[in-house]
Structure 1
Amino acid sequence: AALGAVCVFYTGLMQVSVVALPLGGLVGALCAVVLLMRLVGRGGTLVLLLAGAALSSFAAALTALVLNLVPSPYASYEIMHWLMGSLTDRTFTHVLVCLPGAVCGALLMFSVARALDALTLGEDVATSLGFSLWGARGVQTRLVLGAALAVGSCVAVSGAIGFVGLVVPHVLRPLTGYQPSRLLLPSFLGGSVLLLAADMVVRLVATGPELHLGVLTALIGAPVFFARVVMLKRSEP
């Protein structure tokens, strides 16, 4: 999504319409997920994770390349400003742009809620219970596509705001009995609450130059996630 939006900056298409930037980000996210699914095929979860990490690194490298080739310092500043993530100057037009993708993505993820519970027991058990993992209507296909639609739509509007989706489910998991199906809705709501709280802190705390929302969430989210990793490690037998 970030790469797609940066390409819109680079080509000057953002001058055409206010929705050009969000749409560029959404197209980038959809292209990434199509490429990811083609690469993974029926390779399983580990292949999915490795391919996703490789694709993410490649997209980051292309984003850096575009920044390197931008001829105008002002354009470079605008791109960096967007990449750090912010809700400043966002309007209901941006909400309407990202809403269809976010809703469709959420519905896709909610449609595999029961299968996610089965997947906690392993892919073989989930398959034996009658859940198809891959294919056009497979659980993991719908899950990856749903996540790409929802996250890509939001990133296309707000820029890259990290650690919200990574930290919130880990924090809320003990409150939902460690069941993924029960964790989906609290994660959506918890992520919204965290984002709004961080945005209020950014706007109320005077730091001279405006502190970007993505910077604040990273500063808060990374230590929280590290703490969760340490707790999980200590709980191992």
Structure 2
Amino acid sequence: MTGSGRSIGLIATLVVVLLVAAALSLSVGTASLGVERTLAALTGGGDATARTILFELRLPRVLLALGVGAMLGIAGAAMQGYLRNPLAEPSVLGASNGAALGAVAALYFGLAALHPALLPALAIGGALLALLLLFLLAGRSESALTLILAGIAIGTLGGAAISLALNMSPNPFAAMEIMSWLLGSLEDRSMQHVLLALPCIAVGIMLLVWDGRALDALTLGEDGARSLGVDLKRTRLRLLAGVAIGVGGAVAVSGAIGFVGLVVPHLIRPLTDRSPSSILLPSALAGAALLAIADVAVRVIPTTNELKLGVVTAFLGVPVFLFHLMRERRLW
């Protein structure tokens, strides 16, 4: 099979998996609707209770799982291609912790209660601030190592500030709300959350896909990419802005969800020609399907309280990552 045929086959397979995961997520919950009631509600018929459960509770949750998973998956693939580091993900550049800190600030100071848009706005602002600090620390350097070291410093600072907010929280209820958000969840989300997050995610994905060919050129190193006509400064600006806007919007509605951006590109890479551009779109589709399946898992695992999505992705991600690390360590 040719490279293009293989890529089309992979994307088609992932689309089918994504649709199955979405359908499964729509049908699973504490209230059993059954196939007939679900189909009737989807076609505009059925009873009012089924339509309410489907469109006001489950559909927003499914859309957010797909959008957030796609953003985290493609962000991880783009960062691994740009930094040429298989361990890279949005948190490596401090974007995830910056977005989390912005959201925690909204919760800590009670701003999230004033208007629903303030939490995502501060999350995106936190991610952008983290990347602004990254530019200041990295200076004129275009080295991937410089960006990684600066990102680790910013991420550590953001984590310390989040810990400080927990330590200094004015009451235990505020601390519990922050901790619940940091564990990650899509429970009790509405279409309002969807309308807030999906535009940011769409912009982030478009900015990352824009530089697919530049990421391929960067496999030759900075000098090789520059000789091929790649503007490294503009490429870096688009990539970092895409990560900040997209991840900031995703984190704002889902909380902190780890390992998706790290694991998904490793699952996809062996199925492609391993060029960074060929991994981007499949990673978005696989990330969406993975997070939708993980969100189903938090609902079907029998517990007294619903598990947090970030906990499930961590338990799913670590074994998968270690398996692929052992299997593919000689290929890097």
**Is the structural similarity TM-score above 0.5?**
yes
Aligned to 1:89: 188
How far did 1:196 drift? 0.3
Maintained 8 Å contact 2:184/2:257: yes
Amino acid at match of 1:179: S
Aligned to 2:177: 78
Aligned to 2:238: 142
Aligned to 1:191: 287
Q: What are the within-5 Å matches in structure 2 for residues 191-230 of structure 1?
A: 191-230=287-326
Does residue 64 (structure 1) correspond to residue 163 (structure 2)? The answer is yes
Aligned to 1:175: 271
Does residue 27 (structure 1) correspond to residue 125 (structure 2)? The answer is yes
2 CA distance for matches of 1:147 and 1:235? 27
Which structure carries more relative contact order (alpha carbon 8 Å, separation 6+)?
2
2 CA distance for matches of 1:177 and 1:233? 17
SS at match of 2:232: coil
Maintained 8 Å contact 1:172/1:187: yes
TM-score by length of 1: 0.94
What percentage of aligned pairs have identical amino acids?
A: 51
Match for residue 11 of structure 1 among 103, 109, 121: 109
2 CA distance for matches of 1:31 and 1:194? 29
Does residue 108 (structure 1) correspond to residue 189 (structure 2)? The answer is no
Describe the shift of the 1:201–1:182 C-alpha distance in structure 2 as closer, same or farther (beyond 3 A): same
Maintained 8 Å contact 2:120/2:248: no
How far did 1:234 drift? 4.4
More displaced 10-residue stretch of structure 1: 144-153 or 193-202: 144-153
Maintained 8 Å contact 1:22/1:94: no
Maintained 8 Å contact 1:37/1:141: no
Aligned to 2:76: none
1:115-142: per-residue Cα shift (whole Å, max 9, x none)? 11111121111011110111xxx21221
Match for residue 159 of structure 1 among 247, 255, 271: 255
TM-score by length of 2: 0.68
Does residue 42 (structure 1) correspond to residue 143 (structure 2)? The answer is no
Unaligned runs of 5+ in 2: 1-98
More displaced 10-residue stretch of structure 1: 47-56 or 28-37: 28-37
1:66-120: per-residue Cα shift (whole Å, max 9, x none)? 1111111011001000000000011111111112221111111111111111111
Maintained 8 Å contact 2:119/2:252: yes
2 CA distance for matches of 1:149 and 1:34? 13
Amino acid at match of 1:13: L
2 CA distance for matches of 1:21 and 1:143? 23
1 CA distance for matches of 2:288 and 2:238? 23
Count of matched residue pairs? 233
How far did 1:235 drift? 4.6
Amino acid at match of 1:226: L
Amino acid at match of 1:41: G
SS at match of 2:328: helix
Amino acid at match of 2:254: S
Query: How large is the RMSD of aligned CA atoms in angstroms?
Result: 1.3
Aligned to 2:15: none
Q: Spell out structure 1 runs of 4+ moving beyond 4 A.
A: none
1:118-169: per-residue Cα shift (whole Å, max 9, x none)? 11121111011110111xxx21221121112111110111000001111101
